[in-house]
Amino acid sequence: MSLRAFVLLLLLGLVATSAIAMVLTRHQHRQAFIELSRLERERDDLNIEFGRLQIEQATWSETNRIEQIAVGKLGMKFPEGAEVVVVQP
C-alpha cells in the first residue's frame, strides 16, 4: 500500500468520523431544544397557576370576608368603649 493511498484512507476516515460527530451533535442540540421548549411551557403554566393562586389568596383574605366570618360563624364583635381595657407596663 502506497503512502498516497494510506493518506487518502486516513482522510476518508477522518471525514466520516467528522460527519458522524456532526450528526450526533445536531441530534443532541435538537433534544436539548425540545427539553427547553417543554420546560418553558411548564414555567408558563406554573406562572399562570401562581397568578390564579395570588388572586384566590387576595379574595380569601379580604377584610370584609374575614369580618363576616368572625361575626357570623364565631360570634365575634368589636368591643364597646367600656369593654376596652388599657394595660400599662
* pTM tops 0.85: no
Domain boundary assignment for the chain: 3-74
Predicted local distance difference test score (pLDDT) of residue 66: 85
Question: What is the pLDDT of the chain when averaged over all its residues?
Answer: 93
User: How confident is the model over 47-75, as pLDDT tens digits?
Assistant: 999 999 999 999 888 888 888 888 888 88
Q: What is the 3-state secondary structure (H, E, C) of the chain?
A: CCHHHHHHHHHHHHHHHHHHHHHHHHHHHHHHHHHHHHHHHHHHHHHHHHHHHHHHHHHHCCHHHHHHHHHHCCCCCCCCHHHCCCCCC
